Structure formats: C-alpha cells, structure tokens
Amino acid sequence: MSAHVHVQTHDSTTGTTGTTGFTGTTGTGRKSAGTTARISRAGAVSALTLAAVTGTVLAPGAASEAQAATARSKALSVAAAQKGDPYKYGAAGPHRFDCSGLTLYSYKKAGKKLPRTAQAQYNKTSRVSAAKRAKGDLVFFHSGGSVYHVGVYAGSGKVWHSPKAGSVVKLEKIWTKSVRYGRVR
C-alpha cells in the first residue's frame, strides 16, 4: 500500500514552521490495484515514525551534546593558544591568566559562560568519570572536598593550565590522582 504523509515541522531556533511530504510503501494492504490509501489523522509524529519514514534517527539531547563537544574543542584550542602567557593572580586574559581565568576565558571564546573561581566552576559543571573524560573537559585539582586548581583537559593525561606566580600557561602531564573532571554544558 502506498502512503503519503505530511509532517509539520517547527524550528525552535528561528520560529519557522513548514510542511514536508513523504511517500512510501506501508505494510501488506488488502486494497485492489489502483486504490489509494490515505492517512487521515493529522498530529504529532513520533521519533520512531519519523525515523522509519526518513531513515534518520535523532536521539533526544544529541544536538546539545554535539554543541557541547564543539565548545569543548574550541575551548581547548583557545587555551592552547595562550601558551607562554604569564600567570597573574585574578587575571582572566587576554594576555595574563590565573588558573580559573584561563578556563573562563577559553570557554567564553567558545560561547559558554563560566563563573570566576575554580570551586564555582566545579559546582557549575557536570561530573564526568576519568573513563569518559574528553578533550576540553575541565580538570579540577582538589584536596579533600576543596577545589584549588583548574585546567583544560588536552587528552593523553595532560592539561593546559596557568599554574602559579612566576610561571606561564603550559601543557603538563596531570601530576596527581586527586582530580575530578567536569563537563561544561
């Protein structure tokens, strides 16, 4: 049996709506040759139906996760571009940074807003296990329950950070197991 389905779409980013038509074959209809079956019910189409008709599956949250991955990648690039910039307590760029100033600046350039201090950034991010960490996630160094330092995870057990007075933004191997990972959403 042949069917033609009109699906009304709505783009929440632009506020526009549109109608898309799909034609295809359904089930094992018992109509005689030349008879057209019509779908008379209009309404919402489930993700499963849309996938069956269009061949595309979009999992809930997939778009936001892709956006977060793009922001992580951009933030990592921005942090790396600050290589050699000097540490200055309380500075958040563009040419001097303390640890949380570097992460704030990097994510701001990636279109994300973070609070100013390492502890506040930790409180704002989503926890990620070491096994699921990704490049661009934040690395929080802690002593007991208090976060005292933060950097941007670079992969391979390394972090971009602005460590202390007299030092510069640099890439270093993570030197302790007292770290937690946070994902900026």
- Residues with catalytic roles: 99, 149, 161
Q: What is the DSSP letter of 125?
A: S
Q: Which residues are CB-contacts of 40 (< 8 A; sequence separation ≥ 6)?
A: none
- Per the listing, tokens 């460590």 go with 163
Long-range pairs of 83-86 with CB within 8 A, sequence gap ≥ 24: 83/160, 83/168, 83/169, 83/170, 83/171, 84/168, 84/169, 84/170, 85/162, 85/168, 85/169, 86/167, 86/168, 86/169
Report CA-CA distances (Å) from 20 to 2, 4, 102, 138: 17, 10, 46, 42
